[in-house]
């Protein structure tokens, strides 16, 4: 069977910089940080006091009280982002064969809010006082399960959990489902809500987080010489992807083409990247090959760019290894400088950013890049302000703890 072409027809977001396409894209494009002092809990005993929290989200605007009580925060984010994406796509589910529509939604951690709440109840009141809904709320597949149940989708459905590559793996595997005929439409992306006392404590203790508490908007500074770690964030992003024939048949507005998917493993260390960047380079090379693109065809890369001392220079070296002389002609930026690191959901939000960037022919900026690290190869990291340029093809990189690497290739749709 000849692989079918796959296109993006909708995107939905719940993020630290807005809970709609318009507000989130405007913030990313204009370089307005969503990182602030944490308000959800008391951080006085922590070394880290900052995060990218979702602040303008009230679940009761979207869900009944009963529904809200049955869904962990990460699932609430996912179902709202999925509703947005389906609305933008124009899918009329009543007219569709829902056996041909599925959902792959990744998360790195799952229902951490529920885990903490029920653990406290167990310690305080004993094993007979924990909630019978605990497991259905905290399990990592809850987001995909709830989206399919709410929408009556009977196609393939699963959760992907590969740390910070989770959402990108979910999108890539959904792409394969459509290409080879398992589904015609997929609801795919990621959701995460790990800005909790346990989540912050755990990542803080790994020494991976920025402690620039006195200036939260300046804390996430990918590729900067003075970067000191990433900033945790929460949220969700969902894409609607479908085979080209199906999109054309129903008269959908096609946003971009999802053209390629590359994945690899570092096989090196549980948290640190391979210092030579071989796994990252392999994922990018696979994505280019899968999309039928040459290095010279790529105009922009939305980098993983977490702002960690050990990660950014490795990614830059990997880009140079794959793209050679062209690496200095394309643009590279990290949207995590604006909204922080959504862990397992980051690749989905950054894929949405790539879609919006291609529609507007704008490379969003890397903010806080005041003193570029010379170890990062002198690439054009789009410092401070967006750059206007024709974007025919872009890559979106996601690299996760455990050595999981994913690169997605998108290109302008040409009929």
Other CB atoms closer than 10 Å to residue 45's CB: what's the count? Answer: 7
pLDDT of residue 261: 98
Closest residue by Cα to residue 12 from 85, 86, 88: 85
Closest residue by Cα to residue 369 from 400, 332, 319: 332
Give the Cα separation of 410 and 391 in Å (integer).
Answer: 10
pLDDT in tens, 237-272: 999 999 999 999 999 999 999 999 999 999 999 888
Other CB atoms closer than 10 Å to residue 97's CB: what's the count? Answer: 11
Give the start-to-end residue ranges of the domains of the chain: 6-249, 261-411
**Same fold? 6-249, 261-411:** yes
pLDDT of residue 1: 58
The residues near 370 (Cβ < 8 Å, ≥ 6 apart) are 221, 224, 226
DSSP 8-state code for residue 20: S
The CATH class given to the 6-249 domain equals alpha beta
Q: Note the CATH number of domain 261-411.
A: 3.40.47.10
Tens of each residue's pLDDT in the chain, 415 residues: 568 999 999 999 999 999 999 999 999 999 999 999 999 999 999 999 999 999 989 999 999 999 999 999 999 999 999 999 999 999 999 999 999 999 999 999 999 999 999 999 999 999 999 999 999 999 999 999 999 999 999 999 999 999 999 999 999 999 999 999 999 999 999 999 999 999 999 999 999 999 999 999 999 999 999 999 999 999 999 999 999 999 999 999 999 999 999 999 999 998 888 999 999 999 999 999 999 999 999 999 999 999 999 899 999 999 999 999 999 999 999 999 999 999 999 999 999 999 999 999 999 999 999 999 999 999 999 999 999 999 999 999 999 999 999 999 999 998 7
Asked whether the beta carbons of 120 and 277 are under 8 A apart, the reply is no
Closest residue by Cα to residue 185 from 98, 105, 255, 77: 98
Q: How far apart are the first and last CA of the chain?
A: 21
Give the Cα separation of 168 and 410 in Å (integer).
Answer: 12
* DSSP letters spanning 77-144: HHHHHHHHHHHHHT--GGGS-GGGEEEEEE-SS--HHHHHHHHHHHHHH-TTSS-TTHHHHHSTTHHH
pTM for the whole structure:
0.97
pLDDT in tens, 11-70: 999 999 999 999 999 999 999 999 999 999 999 999 999 999 999 899 999 999 999 999
Q: Which residue has the tokens 């006392």?
A: 197
**By three-state DSSP, how is residue 171 classified?**
helix
The residues near 42 (Cβ < 8 Å, ≥ 6 apart) are none
Indicate which residues carry an active-site annotation.
164, 304, 341
**By three-state DSSP, how is residue 290 classified?**
helix
Give the Cα separation of 80 and 68 in Å (integer).
Answer: 11
Asked whether the beta carbons of 130 and 62 are under 8 A apart, the reply is no
């Amino acid at each position: 069977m000849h692989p079918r072409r796959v296109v993006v027809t909708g995107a939905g977001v719940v993020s630290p910089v807005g809970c709609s396409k318009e507000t989130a894209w405007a913030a990313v494009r204009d370089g307005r940080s969503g990182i602030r002092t944490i308000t959800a809990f008391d951080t006085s005993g922590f070394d880290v006091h900052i995060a990218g929290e979702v602040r303008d989200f009230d679940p009761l605007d979207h869900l009944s009280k009963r529904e809200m009580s049955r869904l962990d925060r990460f699932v609430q984010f996912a179902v709202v982002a999925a509703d947005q994406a389906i609305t933008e796509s124009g899918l009329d589910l009543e007219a569709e064969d829902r056996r041909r529509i599925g959902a792959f939604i990744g998360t790195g951690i799952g229902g951490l809010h529920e885990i903490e709440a029920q653990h406290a109840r167990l310690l305080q009141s004993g094993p007979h006082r924990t909630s019978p809904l605990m497991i259905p709320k905290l399990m990592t597949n809850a987001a995909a399960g709830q989206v399919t149940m709410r929408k009556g989708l009977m196609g393939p459905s699963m959760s992907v959990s590969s740390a910070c590559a989770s959402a990108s793996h979910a999108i890539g595997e959904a792409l394969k489902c459509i290409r080879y005929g398992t589904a015609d439409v997929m609801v795919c992306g990621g959701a995460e809500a790990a800005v909790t006392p346990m989540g912050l404590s755990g990542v803080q203790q790994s020494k991976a987080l920025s402690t620039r508490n006195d200036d939260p908007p300046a804390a996430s500074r990918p590729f900067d010489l003075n970067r000191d770690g990433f900033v945790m964030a929460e949220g969700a992003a969902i894409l609607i992807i479908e085979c080209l024939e199906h999109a054309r048949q129903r008269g959908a507005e096609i946003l971009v083409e999802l053209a390629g998917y590359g994945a690899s493993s570092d096989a090196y260390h549980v948290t640190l990247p391979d210092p030579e960047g071989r796994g990252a380079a392999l994922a990018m090379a696979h994505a280019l090959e899968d999309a039928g693109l040459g290095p010279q065809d790529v105009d922009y890369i939305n980098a993983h760019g977490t702002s960690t001392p050990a990660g950014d220079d490795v990614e830059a070296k990997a880009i140079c290894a794959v793209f050679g002389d062209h690496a200095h002609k394309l643009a590279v930026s990290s949207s995590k400088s604006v909204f922080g690191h959504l862990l397992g959901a980051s690749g989905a939000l950054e894929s949405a950013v790539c879609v919006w960037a291609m529609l507007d022919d704008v490379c969003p900026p890397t903010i806080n890049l005041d003193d570029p690290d010379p170890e990062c190869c002198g690439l054009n990291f789009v410092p401070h302000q967006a750059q206007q340029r024709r974007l025919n093809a872009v890559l979106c990189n996601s690299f996760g703890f455990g050595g999981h690497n994913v690169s997605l290739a998108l290109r302008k749709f040409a009929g």
